[in-house]
């Protein structure tokens, strides 16, 4: 007798940007990503639902100072850290998020609480009040290397547009556009996605990231997408929602990626995205030089770190 269960699928990312510096850089990022894949996929095999698995994956990535989210977030132009995150439950098609929150360890946990709130997206002051309501301890996500990075940029009058997506500068060459994201299809066929970021670094105070918008993080019963890259480019393409709508209208996930990224390339956009469809297809795409992503397709782990430069979309087809 069939149990009706399917093989879960998982894909995560740690940002997009320019080239990793050789094999050492790729190996360091791969270790971090694979550790998260291993823990979260074991939870999925044990029956954890998609939304809970996404939250756990985001927590782990936010806690890794290698990535620009949670601990290790970049500083804005005034030397402060302001983070944004969102969570979307595809089964309920419910979105929640926080914008420019400070002094919290895991912004995704605030987004989690807001899933059951009448007010689903809060900005800085509202998020701070929510932290107090939930009695979350204050936490400083600043790392020494991010402070040193900001001091160097200040001395140069902030003439660089982006911060490093990966904190260890010896591993990455100008790899900006840092964000983390997790997309899950659980054993019951439920989809969810979460995205979290420290921002692009050195930005104007009050700038809002795509990570707390449906443009950068979107899911329904048909597909789930998390984006990374230049937030303004992602917003102008409404990238995550655009891909999900195309899948909902009957387009295969990879084709939806290809169409969306071809359109974006013609407008010289700079970003990446990962996604899963309800049929079990896992896909990813980028216009940036590097997409730091890894996945578990139900059989084995893999990653996108060896993708060449230029606009590319790829998928792993492992039907449910």
Active site residue 197: no
Q: Any known ligand binding at 207?
A: yes
Q: Any known ligand binding at 209?
A: yes
Q: How far apart are CA 39 and CA 282, in angstroms?
A: 19
Q: Which residues contact 196 (CB under 8 A, 6 or more apart)?
A: 58, 61, 62, 69, 70, 83, 84, 85, 86, 107, 108, 179, 180, 181, 211
User: Of 182, 197, 166, 16, which is closest to residue 99 (Cα–Cα)?
Assistant: 197
Do residues 284 and 273 lie in contact, with contact meaning Cβ atoms separated by under 8 Å? yes
Helix (H, G, I), strand (E, B) or coil at 299: coil
Q: Any known ligand binding at 208?
A: yes
Q: Any known ligand binding at 228?
A: yes
Selected catalytic residue, list 48, 71, 179, 304: 179
How far apart are the two ends of the chain, measured CA to CA in Å?
17
Q: How far apart are CA 72 and CA 66, in angstroms?
A: 7
Question: How many Cβ atoms sit within 10 Å of the Cβ of residue 126?
Answer: 16
Q: Any known ligand binding at 210?
A: yes
Q: Is 264 exposed, middle or buried (0-12, 13-18, 19+ CB in 10 A)?
A: buried
Do residues 41 and 8 lie in contact, with contact meaning Cβ atoms separated by under 8 Å? yes
User: Of 248, 301, 303, 313, which is closest to residue 277 (Cα–Cα)?
Assistant: 248
Binding-site residues for substrate sit at 207-210, 228-231
Catalogue the active-site residues. Answer: 179
Binding-site residues sit at 207-210, 228-231
């Amino acid at each position: 007798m069939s149990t009706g269960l399917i093989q879960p699928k998982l894909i995560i990312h740690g940002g997009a940007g320019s080239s990793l510096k050789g094999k050492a850089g790729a190996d360091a990022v791969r270790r971090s990503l694979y550790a998260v894949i291993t823990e979260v996929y074991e939870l999925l095999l044990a029956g954890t639902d998609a939304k809970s698995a996404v939250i756990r994956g985001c927590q782990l990535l936010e806690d890794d100072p290698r990535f620009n989210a949670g601990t290790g977030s970049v500083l804005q132009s005034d030397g402060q850290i302001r983070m944004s995150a969102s969570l979307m439950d595809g089964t309920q098609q419910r979105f929640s998020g926080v914008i420019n929150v400070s002094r919290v360890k895991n912004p995704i946990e605030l987004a989690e609480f807001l899933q059951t709130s009448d007010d689903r997206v809060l900005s800085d002051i509202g998020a701070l009040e929510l932290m107090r309501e939930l009695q979350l301890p204050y936490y400083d996500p600043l790392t020494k290397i991010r402070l040193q990075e900001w001091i160097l940029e200040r001395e140069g009058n902030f003439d660089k547009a982006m911060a490093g997506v990966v904190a260890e500068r010896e591993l990455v060459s100008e790899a900006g556009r840092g964000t983390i994201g997790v997309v899950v299809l659980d054993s019951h066929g439920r989809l969810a996605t979460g995205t979290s970021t420290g921002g692009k670094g050195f930005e104007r105070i009050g700038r809002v990231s795509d990570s707390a918008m449906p443009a950068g993080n979107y899911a329904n019963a048909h597909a789930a997408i998390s984006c990374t890259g230049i937030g303004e480019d992602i917003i102008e393409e409404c990238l995550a929602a655009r891909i999900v709508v195309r899948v909902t209208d009957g387009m295969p996930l990879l084709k939806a990626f290809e169409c969306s990224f071809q359109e974006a390339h013609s407008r010289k956009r700079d970003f990446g995205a990962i996604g899963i469809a309800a049929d079990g297809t896992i896909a990813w795409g980028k216009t940036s030089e590097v997409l730091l992503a890894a996945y578990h397709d139900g059989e084995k782990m893999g990653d996108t770190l060896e993708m060449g430069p230029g606009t590319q979309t790829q998928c792993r087809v492992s039907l449910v």
